[in-house]
Structure 1
Amino acid sequence: MAERARRFWAELATVYESAGRPTLERLVQLGEQRNPPVKIGVSTLSDWLNGRTVPDRNDRYVMALVHFLQQEAAGVGSGYARRPEGWWQQLLAAARQERNTTRGGRPATRAASPGPPPGPVTLPPDLAGFTGRAAELAEILDLLEPDGGSGGGPGDAAAAAVVVSAGMGGVGKTALAVHAAHQARVRGWFPGGILFADLRGYSNAPQVEAGAVADRFLRALGVKTKDLPGTDEKLDAWRIHLDTRAAQGRPLLVILDNVREPGQIDALLPAAPHRALVTSRHTLSSLPARRVDLSPMSPADAVDLLDRTLRAGGTDDARVIAQHDDALRLARLCGRLPLALKIIGALLRDEPDRRLADQADELRDARTRLDRLAYDGDDDEGRPLALRASLELSYQHLTEPQQRALRLLAAAPGPDVSTAAAAALLGESATHARRLLAGLARTHLLEPATAGPERWAMHDLVRLFADDLGQREAPADGREPAVSRLLHHYLTTAQDADAHLWPEQNTPASGTFADRDQALAWLDAERSNLVAAALAAPAHHPAATSLDQALAMYFTHSGHFADSIRLSSAAAAVLREAGDRRREGSALNTLGTALTHVRDFEQAVDIFTEVIGLYRDVGDRRAEAMTLGNLGGALMRLERFPEAAETFHRAGALFRETGDLYSQAQVMGNMAALLVDAGKPEHAVQTLTEVVAVFRKMGDRRSEGTALGNLGRALLELGRLDEAVTAYTDAVAACRHAGERRTEGTTLYNLGAALVVSDRPEEAAGTLTDAITVCRGTGDRHGEAMALSNLGLLRNQERRFADAADHFTTAAALFGETGDRTREGLMLNSLGGTLVATGRLADAIDVGTRELEICREIGDRRGEGIVLTNLGRALSELGRFAEAADHLTAAVAVFRELGDPGRAAEALLHAARARAARGLPD
């Protein structure tokens, strides 16, 4: 029957039509433009497109032709489902193999009598301007394809006969199914016919029974009224017709739209070679079928749909193109749901002068958004153009317990909810809660979350819908105590997880988590929800003022300092209002620590200073000492070394008063680190060695790792390289044992620097690469910059200047992002030197100009003088002598001001040379 050839001709004709039927002369030019050119005649092309011959050679041209036609089809927005080149190659090979025994590649059955006429098509009209869903459309077509449709090509084995496309109301299931069916029609896949029926599973009207659908299908297939069997026998007659058409080689495609439960359609489903495409808001899991689930559209597709809606009917509405950012905002506020986008499109078409920004502003209020997503009219299928009405149809088919669960889940703060959290919210066992969640997921009012197993998420517009209902039913649902249970679950579980993170504190941990890794995994999974819960909790609930403390160590460990700042700021405000000064101090202390980590040292000093006074007022000596230690650390980072030393001494004295040996050791370690920073490493080594021994004896690997890292710095400053490398190596091991990834990253880049100085380049490169990986993993951008700067120095030494320049450029940008302007300037200086070494003087001058701006901004006069000198010399090299002289003269003035006669004389000499070269007076 030449099935393979017919398949090839049908596909080629489809893509040709979808491309807008370009002229054959234009297609001939495709061959002429090849290298080498391929000669294809108009008559040859005509034979291929009209199903007379199969190409027997010129594969390069055929693939170029297909590529061109598919591009054109995409450009005109035909909705054609693009096929990969491999698929076309297999299709062409199969057609050739089938035609090999025929003369001239022509069908052997050319003179045979024509086959039966194509069967009936009862589809609704295809949507004009259908857009988006390219991946889902291709998947559905692959599954409908008569030769198997597993997506691997024409020769695959037959696939399941039933395809289910499921998704929430308004997501565009029917439009996609109808469009896919029309694509199958033009491909000639179903000569037996394509039949459509709306089962009205989500309508206020009674749902359509299988017998009524069978009656409609039989009539469409030509069975006269007088020949129709009785109601009970219609389904049997339908099956007989399916079998007959299968035996005739005339498969059918059946579209069963809006199916609510498998029982509606079990008796209607055909077997292969027929196909059925079913749409539903339910997953219909009990049906043996292939599944294509629909999610909201991508942002780009959503904007494109809005644009096509506004341009429908040939209008010249260009608002989406001209106001693209506002169109993106509209798409987001519509949840990227096709129904919502069509409603907004209809409203905007009524007001052609209205700005998209105004429409978006109107939707911004969550309380009224659903009411505004409505239009006076019906869609193409006769349903109301209102999102609330669409969601109501799904909601009314839920059981009462499912309806209550949906209403309460809308009150849960955060982007998703775990099964355990939902059980607390609903006041149910985990088993019963999961059953309710799974039931809602089957209706697509809830979706399995992408964050991990046993997690569930709700579309934004579904949440608005459910929350509106929940507000009305709050007393009956027990909404307030339900939310309180959820907040209590989050708080107590976070406290249990916190106890596992720091075993050296000897905080008793419950049996919620088996170990530290399990606790961290839970915190990682729930972080967004915990932050949302703390910020949403009413002031009287403990979660509002305790979650920040329960999460403080986790936030520090994982580098989520922005979250820590938000939560501790909010908790401090609540506690201040309540007059709880002691706990306010704890929240502010956490805030100051987080600010120190994000390098906002000035604000951290202000906060710690305030907290010290607060603790002194309430008589909490130990808390005052802890805060003094934190203040000393912030002052040390600001290089206010005398103040930092005095602060550490005060902290140590208070810890001695309270008998806190552990905290005394911490202060000793901080004092020793201060000595290293202040350029007195020789005084720090003995103290740090003693501190390491104390923490090792206590089993505190985290603090041991920090102290070993500071010891490594002191030894490196003293030039005791082997000892420094050993200390850093031990520090890395301690950090890894304690799970301190952030400190591990810091220690790795310091170890790498020590290895560079020790002339161990291969070890240094590997260690610094590891440091970059760890710092990126923990979000430590400043640490990443430090590692990159050290790696850049190593590559410079190896004369790998291009790599060095890349590392210095990235490091400078990261230092700038993290507010470390001093190191940013140093990296620009290193970058400029590397560029000069490679002869890129013009680029070096650009970099030097940026460095000069930084030096002046931070008040680094010595650095300013050095940069001016370097810029002057580079400008002289380029023959820009007048500019060179100006820069060098400025450098002379800076060095004289600083009392540096040597550098002033050097700059003066270069200035004189520049003036002489330019013929300027000295």
Structure 2
Amino acid sequence: MNGEPSAAPRPDRHEESPESREAALRRVVVWYLHSADAAQTWINSQEAHIPLDPPGDDLTPASFADYEEAMRWYEAERGNLLAATRAAEEAGLDVIAWQLPAVLRSVHMLLNPFEEWLAMSRIGLRAARRLGDRAAEAELLESLGMACTQSHRLSEGAEYHQGALAARRETGDRLGEALSLNDIGLIHLRGRRLEAAKDQFEQAAARFQELGAAQWQAVVTSNLAEVTYELARTEEASGFVERALAMHRELGNQGGEGNALRILSAVQRDRGQAEEALRSAEAALDIARTHRNHMWEGYWLLELGRAQRANGELDAALVSFQRAASLQRRLGDQAREARAWHGAGETYRRLGRPGEAADFHRRAAAVHRELDDLWHAALALDGLAGALREADEGDGTGAAEEARRHWAEALRALASYDDPRAVTLRERVSAALAQ
């Protein structure tokens, strides 16, 4: 690797004029900006680069031979990257102050360093607004929206994405408009506003097709597959996911391919194709591990665990859910960590160990309540109540009344959902309470 962290320009402040100190600081932050841009090429090559001015003939940014070198540089320089962004703002270098967090967004979205992601993006947004640069403002609003979505601050994230959409429409950025529509769809999908999500994805898909944006067309086709799967339209979801898979493979986009395989596995489970579902989930995990991408691995392990459980591989499923929980804890995604606990709880129930199942479901329900994620809270509460009733049948501990309380809470949580899966769950919970 050229340009190790120690090779970054270091100003000597002794007996320097203010002009010299300003020039030295500018060299440092420009070095970090272009080095971060070089790291993005390896860490998240699918994301578009922010156009940057050349660094200058007297400055050699870091360069990297592979993903691992780029990641080592990023991990070593994380604190300095935040400090450089703050220094750029304090020095009035507003162009660099917005560009540096915009460049790093593609890294942050894979690694979820929420504190610095939000802090840097807010600095960048202030700088863009001081410049009156609406296109730059949209980039930072999108970054903030993504950070909020991935940390499950959905209302806040929706506001940022709506702001980005307005800025992009104002500037005539049609590709950016389509990206914002897709982002808003993802917010609705996480909040289980499924018809609203589908509408946003369809609008985005039409624009991507008009623009010939093949990569993004593949991404939004995967999103349409996921939302139609959640709407229990299995055949429609199957058509979308098969198209998305073919598109990602043609483009050589392995990350998109892995995500499509995750969705395909879920569709296959719904259709009773347990062995096919397992093969699809395993293929997705192979991609994640080949790329050493812990975000993909942690998320796709949830589907692998479900496929393993559907095939009766219960011990293997527990390993997958425990690994997923560990990775999500490291990534700071509480919602997905809680989903892994829920998966472990369901697996312990299949193993005939309702006490351990109840412990995992209880932890999952607590986190989903805290995040105001009513859908997943209802799923966890249903699992908890079922485990408690089974425990009561086994040893007469008197847990049946507690189970009824949790099912009643689950029904209240489900009241705001009217999609087919929610209706089916509500009917089943009502039947359990009626027993």
TM-score in terms of structure 2 length: 0.84
What residue is the counterpart of 2:79 in the other structure? 528
Q: 1:596 to 1:420 in 2, by over 3 A?
A: same
Q: 1:502 to 1:903 in 2, by over 3 A?
A: closer
Residues in 2 aligned to 1:906 and 1:677: alpha-carbon distance in whole angstroms: 25
Q: Which residue, 316, 319, 342 being the options, matches 1:763?
A: 316
Counterpart check, 1:797 vs 2:350: yes
The one-letter amino acid of 1:619's match is G
Q: CA deviation at 1:552?
A: 0.6
For residues 485-634 of structure 1, what are the structure 2 equivalents within 5 Å?
Answer: 485-504=27-46, 512-538=63-89, 539-634=92-187
Q: Which residue, 271, 296, 300 being the options, matches 1:747?
A: 300
Is the CA contact 1:696–1:704 (under 8 Å) kept in the aligned structure 2?
A: yes
Residues in 2 aligned to 1:777 and 1:760: alpha-carbon distance in whole angstroms: 26
Q: 1:482 to 1:705 in 2, by over 3 A?
A: same
Q: Secondary structure at the match of 2:17?
A: helix
Q: Secondary structure at the match of 1:599?
A: coil
Is the CA contact 1:571–1:587 (under 8 Å) kept in the aligned structure 2?
A: yes
Is the CA contact 1:832–1:845 (under 8 Å) kept in the aligned structure 2?
A: no
Partner deviation per Cα, 1:40-94 (whole Å, 9 max, x = no partner): xxxxxxxxxxxxxxxxxxxxxxxxxxxxxxxxxxxxxxxxxxxxxxxxxxxxxxx
Identity %: 28
Q: CA deviation at 1:797?
A: 1.9
Q: 1:482 to 1:905 in 2, by over 3 A?
A: closer
What residue is the counterpart of 1:426 in the other structure? 11
Q: Secondary structure at the match of 2:152?
A: coil
Q: 1:687 to 1:824 in 2, by over 3 A?
A: closer
Q: Larger Cα Rg: Structure 1 or Structure 2?
A: 1
> How much is the aligned-residue C-alpha RMSD, in angstroms?
3.2
Counterpart check, 1:696 vs 2:281: no
Q: CA deviation at 1:730?
A: 0.9
The one-letter amino acid of 1:500's match is W
Is the CA contact 1:632–1:644 (under 8 Å) kept in the aligned structure 2?
A: yes
Q: 1:512 to 1:860 in 2, by over 3 A?
A: same
The one-letter amino acid of 2:81's match is L
Tell me which moved more, 772-781 or 556-565.
Answer: 772-781
Partner deviation per Cα, 1:729-750 (whole Å, 9 max, x = no partner): 1111122223331121111111
What residue is the counterpart of 2:284 in the other structure? 731
Q: 1:720 to 1:802 in 2, by over 3 A?
A: same
Higher normalized helix content (fraction of residues): 2
Residues in 2 aligned to 1:862 and 1:549: alpha-carbon distance in whole angstroms: 36
Is the CA contact 1:829–1:848 (under 8 Å) kept in the aligned structure 2?
A: no
What residue is the counterpart of 2:240 in the other structure? 687
Residues in 2 aligned to 1:504 and 1:797: alpha-carbon distance in whole angstroms: 40
Q: Secondary structure at the match of 2:64?
A: coil
Q: CA deviation at 1:605?
A: 2.3
Q: CA deviation at 1:852?
A: 4.9
Is the CA contact 2:374–2:414 (under 8 Å) kept in the aligned structure 1?
A: no
Counterpart check, 1:834 vs 2:387: yes
Q: CA deviation at 1:906?
A: 7.7
Q: CA deviation at 1:565?
A: 2.1
Residues in 2 aligned to 1:850 and 1:906: alpha-carbon distance in whole angstroms: 10
Q: 1:704 to 1:586 in 2, by over 3 A?
A: same
Residues in 2 aligned to 1:853 and 1:737: alpha-carbon distance in whole angstroms: 42
Is the CA contact 1:755–1:763 (under 8 Å) kept in the aligned structure 2?
A: yes
TM-score in terms of structure 1 length: 0.41
Q: Secondary structure at the match of 1:838?
A: helix
Is the CA contact 1:702–1:740 (under 8 Å) kept in the aligned structure 2?
A: no
The one-letter amino acid of 1:574's match is A
Is the CA contact 2:255–2:287 (under 8 Å) kept in the aligned structure 1?
A: yes
Partner deviation per Cα, 1:433-488 (whole Å, 9 max, x = no partner): xxxxxxxxxxxxxxxxxxxxxxxxxxxxxxxxxxxxx7x96637943333222222
Q: 1:708 to 1:480 in 2, by over 3 A?
A: same
Q: Which residue, 483, 494, 510 being the options, matches 2:25?
A: 483
For residues 259-270 of structure 1, what are the structure 2 equivalents within 5 Å?
Answer: none
Q: Relative contact order (C-alpha < 8 Å, sep 6+): which is higher? A: 2
Q: 1:532 to 1:841 in 2, by over 3 A?
A: farther
Q: CA deviation at 1:498?
A: 0.9
Q: Secondary structure at the match of 2:65?
A: coil
Residues in 2 aligned to 1:906 and 1:577: alpha-carbon distance in whole angstroms: 58
Q: CA deviation at 1:524?
A: 1.3
Is the CA contact 2:35–2:62 (under 8 Å) kept in the aligned structure 1?
A: no
Partner deviation per Cα, 1:131-155 (whole Å, 9 max, x = no partner): xxxxxxxxxxxxxxxxxxxxxxxxx
Q: CA deviation at 1:517?
A: 0.9
Residues in 2 aligned to 1:476 and 1:566: alpha-carbon distance in whole angstroms: 28
Q: Which residue, 408, 415, 435 being the options, matches 1:860?
A: 415
The one-letter amino acid of 2:316's match is E
Residues in 2 aligned to 1:418 and 1:847: alpha-carbon distance in whole angstroms: 57
The one-letter amino acid of 1:531's match is L
The one-letter amino acid of 1:688's match is V
Q: CA deviation at 1:493?
A: 1.1
Partner deviation per Cα, 1:265-320 (whole Å, 9 max, x = no partner): xxxxxxxxxxxxxxxxxxxxxxxxxxxxxxxxxxxxxxxxxxxxxxxxxxxxxxxx
Partner deviation per Cα, 1:653-672 (whole Å, 9 max, x = no partner): 22222221221122212111
Unpaired segments of 5 or more residues in structure 2?
52-59, 419-425
Q: 1:768 to 1:669 in 2, by over 3 A?
A: same
Q: CA deviation at 1:845?
A: 4.7
Residues in 2 aligned to 1:541 and 1:614: alpha-carbon distance in whole angstroms: 19
Q: CA deviation at 1:800?
A: 2.1
Q: CA deviation at 1:844?
A: 6.1
Is the CA contact 1:772–1:784 (under 8 Å) kept in the aligned structure 2?
A: yes
The one-letter amino acid of 1:536's match is A
For residues 45-444 of structure 1, what are the structure 2 equivalents within 5 Å?
Answer: 419-421=6-8, 424-426=9-11
- Work out the number of aligned pairs and report it: 410
Is the CA contact 2:47–2:106 (under 8 Å) kept in the aligned structure 1?
A: no
Counterpart check, 1:659 vs 2:246: no
The one-letter amino acid of 1:810's match is R
Q: 1:844 to 1:814 in 2, by over 3 A?
A: farther
Unpaired segments of 5 or more residues in structure 1?
1-416, 428-469, 864-898, 911-922
Is the CA contact 2:95–2:127 (under 8 Å) kept in the aligned structure 1?
A: no
Higher normalized strand content (fraction of residues): 1
Partner deviation per Cα, 1:108-139 (whole Å, 9 max, x = no partner): xxxxxxxxxxxxxxxxxxxxxxxxxxxxxxxx
Is the CA contact 1:746–1:783 (under 8 Å) kept in the aligned structure 2?
A: yes
Q: CA deviation at 1:832?
A: 3.5
Residues in 2 aligned to 1:557 and 1:905: alpha-carbon distance in whole angstroms: 41
